[in-house]
Amino acid sequence: MTIAADARAAVRACPFVYDGLRAGVLNYTAAARFLDVGDAEAVGAALRRYAEELDDFSGDDAKGRASVSMRSGVAKSEDGTGLLSVGGVSFAVGGGEHTAIVATGSFGAEALEAALGRLRTAGVGVVAAAGTEGSVTVVVGRREGPDAVRAVEDAL
């Protein structure tokens, strides 16, 4: 592979570097050292060229019209039904110690990435999460519910 191809593959493996390239806020030399795929100067030049080809990052990629609600008392469900089911584990309303944040609206499944990123930077721990076209659900600790609602609303 060429240095340019190696640099692009490394960027695709690090979404934050990809977003930084799109946003135009990346120090190419520092990114080249971080990616560590060859000579930093050559990789930096390849990153500059790659950035020119990418769509601009608006920060609103996942945003659309959203309605966000909070459901308290969420617990693991044995019957496989409820608000969220991932990997054989389900969560439903019913006297539990968790809170579910449910967002619906006109956005794609990529909104889950935006919501999880915002929750991470807000310091909110996520117990479970899932997203599909027009719906994102995250389960957090009961006390983190209000902060999670604000973070998801801001992300979407």
pLDDT tens digits, 26-63: 999 999 999 999 999 999 999 999 999 988 866 555 55
User: Which residues are CB-contacts of 97 (< 8 A; sequence separation ≥ 6)?
Assistant: 75, 141, 142
On whether residue 33 sits in a domain, the answer given is yes
Q: Are residues 93 and 140 in the same domain?
A: yes
Angle (CA) 63 68 70, round 5°: 145
On whether residue 60 sits in a domain, the answer given is no
Q: Are residues 80 and 151 in the same domain?
A: yes
Q: Are residues 17 and 91 in the same domain?
A: no
On whether residue 7 sits in a domain, the answer given is yes
What CA–CA distance (Å, rounded) separates 42 from 74? 52
Contact (Cβ atoms closer than 8 angstroms) between residue 29 and residue 2:
no
Q: Are residues 71 and 49 in the same domain?
A: no
Domain count, the chain: 2
pTM recorded for the entire structure? 0.74
Q: Poorest-confidence range of 20-29, 71-80, 120-129?
A: 71-80
Q: Are residues 74 and 100 in the same domain?
A: yes
Retrieve residue 13's tokens: 């493996």
What is the pLDDT at residue 1? 77
